[in-house]
Amino acid sequence: MRIHALCSLLAVLVAVTARAADSSAPTALKAPVLGHEVTQVGPDYYTFRYTGTRSVFLVTDAGVIVTDPIEAAAARVAR
């Protein structure tokens, strides 16, 4: 049951991210991109960018759900 709920939440996160990307300017990053930033894209929903990679996190009353930031260096900065 818990896995089903997490899969449903992940599907919602992907849908919200796709909708936000469709309604804004092109999101391609120029390489190389230095530094990092956190951007709010919805209520309690954020993207984390480190150089050219992005991940998302959602803040809930039960805790924070974070996607894998792809790079080990990005994971260290996100902490």
> Which pTM value belongs to this model?
0.52
Handedness of CA 60, 63, 67, 70 (dihedral sign): positive
The pLDDT tens digits for 9-58 are 566 556 656 555 555 555 555 556 678 888 999 999 999 888 878 889 99
Say if residues 74 and 53 touch (Cβ distance below 8 Å). yes
**Cα(17)–Cα(54) distance, integer angstroms:** 11
What is the DSSP secondary structure assignment for residue 24, as one 8-state letter? S
| DSSP run (H or E) holding 55 | strand 53-60
Q: Taking every pair of C-alpha atoms in the chain, what is the biggest distance, in angstroms?
A: 42
* The token pair that represents 58 in the structure block: 């959602």
